[in-house]
Amino acid sequence: MTNRRHVITGGVALGTTAWVAPSVLALDRLGAAVGSGTPDVPVVSMGALLIDPPPTIQEGTLPLDSNINTFVWPEIGCEILDNDLVVNRSTPGSFNGGSNQATVIPAGTKIASYYVHGDRLDDGGQLTGQMTFPNATILGLIYRPAQLNASSYLEAPGTTYFNGPMETSDTMTLSADTVSWNMRFGPALDGIRVITTCS
């Protein structure tokens, strides 16, 4: 597999300027993917915002710590898997964060990866969101601790992750091109890695 640090160029420039979450993803990041193909640009709704990868998702990081929004960003661009990738869910339906099908996306599959992050300011209540891919198919979701950690090579370069798995109180609905989520919070982060086709 290509070194993931070179998959997407033009990573977040930290410098001395504070990071601010834009309301719309900078599309040139997707055009910078190495190799053939371009990742799809998802359409987000129901409280989700599409942003550039942040420097960190540590709990309490503003403006990602929100009582209104969940956040979505692209991770790797078009990449061919060298090894099988285990995902927690690949079949359509509604389920909770305790569900684990442990299915495999086989080596040799060209994929793109996106991350969904939720963290409430008040550590209570819920956050919702939805993302739809106009030109890609969702191959699987990763949201359990072991699989989130095992798939860390898909992380966006320049972002420090603190994976918060989905829990049994969290619910998701998956179809071929859309995933929606309802995250219920205590003092923790919630996260979903979304794996799609890439043409």
The model's pLDDT over 120-150, given as tens digits with 9 standing for 90+, comes to: 888 789 999 999 999 999 999 999 999 999 9
Helix (H, G, I), strand (E, B) or coil at 192: strand
Helix (H, G, I), strand (E, B) or coil at 147: helix
**Phi/psi of residue 48, nearest 5 degrees:** -85, 145
With beta carbons less than 8 A apart as the criterion, state whether 197 and 110 touch: yes
Tell me, what's the pLDDT at 150? 96
The model's pLDDT over 39-51, given as tens digits with 9 standing for 90+, comes to: 999 999 999 999 9
The model's pLDDT over 62-109, given as tens digits with 9 standing for 90+, comes to: 889 999 999 999 999 899 999 999 999 999 999 999 999 999 999 999
Task: Write the CB contacts of 52 (distance below 8 Å, at least 6 apart in sequence).
Answer: 12, 22, 25, 26, 29, 73
Closest by Cα among 150, 119, 152, 137 to 197 = 137
**What is the token pair recorded at 158?**
């320049």
Q: Does pTM top 0.75 for this prediction?
A: yes
Closest by Cα among 57, 138, 141, 61 to 97 = 141
Helix boundaries (H) for the chain: 145-150
Domain ranges for the chain, please list them: 4-197
Tell me, what's the pLDDT at 186? 74
